[in-house]
Amino acid sequence: MSDVVLSARGLAKSYLSGDRRIEVLRDVTLDVAAGESVSIRGESGSGKSTLLNLISGLDAPDSGTILWAGAPPAGERRARYLGMVFQSFYLIPELDAEQNVLMASRIIRSPGAAERARARDLLARVGLADRARHLPMQLSGGERQRVAVARALVNSPRLLLADEPTGNLDEHTGDAVIDLLLDLCRATGTALVLVTHNAAHAQKTNRSLFLHTGALR
């Protein structure tokens, strides 16, 4: 299946808490096709963020396999293949909005005119064309998250992972950010895995899954 950007098979993950081993994920299987949007809901502590960490290759599963377009995750591929949006925006305070967006490009190579144009274009598409030179401390929460969305998309990734991106935003701003995220992914053909508590946001994706007692339904 050449259009499968993410294939996770039989993922299991557990942690030691004192003497007790806590099973967080059990036999989780997930396929995401190119351009598809998938939401994952679940209670706090159900393992949603752990699953995203495994998918992104930032953490290793105890068992199971993960493939990005048929190849195992690798650190050096992450910058090109994956975009990530977090609940906390994680903008670098010393860089302005455009420089923060370009930071994801810099990890791959020094940005040229094309990368700068793309960063400015993305900032315009998230409605921040006139805030490109503003530092994160000069932006509101919603604006910061929109900068983070632009940063996640600047390398034209095949897959975007969003871990509760509206968790630190009010309802109205959160709705706007989710709509923006979905629109941009649709426009760029980027697959989206959205972890959220919000049922309304989940319903906007192509497929809605629920993580309960370590299993995905």
Partner 1 sequence: MPWPVYLALKQLFPTGRRFPFFTAISVMGVALGVMVLVVVTSVMGGFGHELRRMIVQTEGEVQVKAKGLLDDVGGVLKAVRATPGVAAATPYVAGPVMVLAEGRPAFPAFRGLDLESVEDVVNLQRFVHAGSIAELDDDSVILSAGVAQHLGARLGDRVEIFSPLFIERLKRDEIFLPRQYRVAGYFEIGHQHLDSSTIYGTLRAAQEIYGLGSAVHGINVRLLPGVNEVEASSRINRSLPANVEAMPWTRSWESFLWVLNLEKTINFFLLLFIVIIAAFSVMSSLLISVVRKTREIGLLGALGGRPRDVALCFCCQAFVIGLTGTLLGVAAGFGVLAIRNDLVRAIAGVLNRQDTLKQFYQFTDLPAHTLPGDLILTVVAAVAISTLAGLLPAWRAARLKPVEALRSE
- Binding partner 1 by CB under 8 A: which of 22, 23, 70, 90? 90
Binding residue for partner 1 (CB under 8 A) from 53, 168, 173, 208?
53
Contact (Cβ atoms closer than 8 angstroms) between residue 29 and residue 8: yes
If binding is defined by CB under 8 A, does position 187 make contact with partner 1? no
Q: Single out the residue of 148, 137, 145 nearest to residue 175, CA to CA.
A: 145
CA 11 to chain centroid, in Å, comes to 19
Q: How many residues bind partner 1 (CB under 8 A)?
A: 28
User: By C-beta, is 82 or 149 nearer to partner 1?
Assistant: 82
Query: What CA–CA distance (Å, rounded) separates 214 from 5?
Result: 23
For the record, the structure tokens of 101 come out as 């967006």
Nearer residue to partner 1 within complex by CB, 148 or 176: 148
- Which lies closer to partner 1 via its Cβ, residue 153 or residue 176? 153
| Residue 199 beta carbon to partner 1: minimum distance, rounded to whole angstroms | 25
Strand order in the sheet with 207-212: 82-85, 159-163, 191-195, 37-42, 207-212, 215-216
Q: Which is nearer to partner 1, 149 or 176 (CB)?
A: 149
Query: Does 58 participate in binding partner 1 (rule CB under 8 A)?
Result: yes
Return all residues near 187 (Cβ < 8 A) that are at least 6 apart.
none
Work out whether 78 is an interface residue with partner 1 (CB under 8 A): yes
What does the CA dihedral 55, 56, 61, 66 come to, rounded to 10 degrees? 50
Site for partner 1 contains 130 (CB under 8 A): no
Q: Which residues of this chain interact with partner 1, rule CB under 8 A?
A: 53, 56, 58-59, 75-80, 82, 84, 86, 88, 90, 92-96, 99, 103-104, 106-108, 110, 135
